[in-house]
Structure 1
């Protein structure tokens, strides 16, 4: 494995956290031979420079807490980024005790959603759907937030 290639891969990881699949794509885009690419990815995973499990947990936590995303959207993005489904489900399972509906209510309150009329409720439903909450969770959150308002 060429030291220069490894240094470039580490530099790429320094700019942005990448999954194993994304690192493979990064190497393929640079026309690195497949066997060499696998050696680089193996070295990086063995030395914990790439850890899909830790990546998925951190990503899920950040998106849940900082962006107010629901499980569906987090799952979709992690799978698209090449994280194995079992690791995605593990990352989504540990909870801080706050339910998805509670998180959705918090999102609505933070956004100052006007739930006083049908148009406001439809907008709130759209917001929650874009954030990755399923319809059942979104409707429940709108009912709860509407009563609290």
Structure 2
């Protein structure tokens, strides 16, 4: 009776199993495989195979992650760039992903949608200082530029 090699000792099989759960950056996959105790050489070989089969693609991942964050209203601009950097995406690739997605989904449109979902009853002209600061702070933490926030809030058309 022959036994097959355990996936726990095969870095490529582990990488495929990890990537079947969710897409991730090359840096994230390297860290994950290192936590499993694989050698640097074995990780390099597994990563190489994943790249060859296009199971791993930082450009695709950066675009998908950026679209997801923007559509959900979780971030734009510098917030996206910081998120991608923390996930090991090179700065140039992060900027490219942001530029591509911001052309598809302009930040002003996303801001208006977010305001309509989250603050549908908010009226900038009627709100007190504390309420204004709360809403503006919320939007700034998601990476929206202050001048865009003020322009959209003063316009008042997001419902």
Q: Report if TM-score (shorter chain) is over 0.5.
A: yes
CA offset digits 1:37-56 (Å, max 9, x no partner): 11111111121111000011
Aligned equivalents of 2:31 and 2:158: distance in 1?
48
How many residue pairs match? The answer is 146
Match of 2:3 in 1: none
Do the aligned residues in 2 keep the contact of 1:102 with 1:141 (CA within 8 Å)?
A: no
RMSD of aligned Cα (Å): 2.1
CA offset digits 1:72-129 (Å, max 9, x no partner): 2111111100011111111111212x53233212211211252322222212111111
Match of 1:126 in 2: 137
What SS class does the counterpart of residue 69 from structure 1 fall into?
A: coil
1:106 and 2:113 are equivalent in the alignment: yes
Higher helix share: 1
Match of 1:56 in 2: 62
TM-score by structure 1 length? Answer: 0.86
Q: Which consecutive residues of structure 1, in runs of 5 or more, have no partner in the other structure?
A: none
What SS class does the counterpart of residue 93 from structure 1 fall into?
A: helix
Match of 1:13 in 2: 19
Do the aligned residues in 1 keep the contact of 2:84 with 2:94 (CA within 8 Å)?
A: yes
Structure 1 runs of 4+ aligned residues shifted over 3 Å read none
What SS class does the counterpart of residue 60 from structure 1 fall into?
A: helix
- Counterpart mapping for 1:1-149 below 5 A: 4-94=10-100, 95-96=103-104, 98-111=105-118, 112=120, 114=122, 115=124, 116-117=126-127, 118-145=129-156
Aligned equivalents of 1:148 and 1:28: distance in 2?
47
Q: Which protein has the larger Cα radius of gyration, Structure 1 or Structure 2?
A: 2
Q: Which consecutive residues of structure 2, in runs of 5 or more, have no partner in the other structure?
A: 1-5
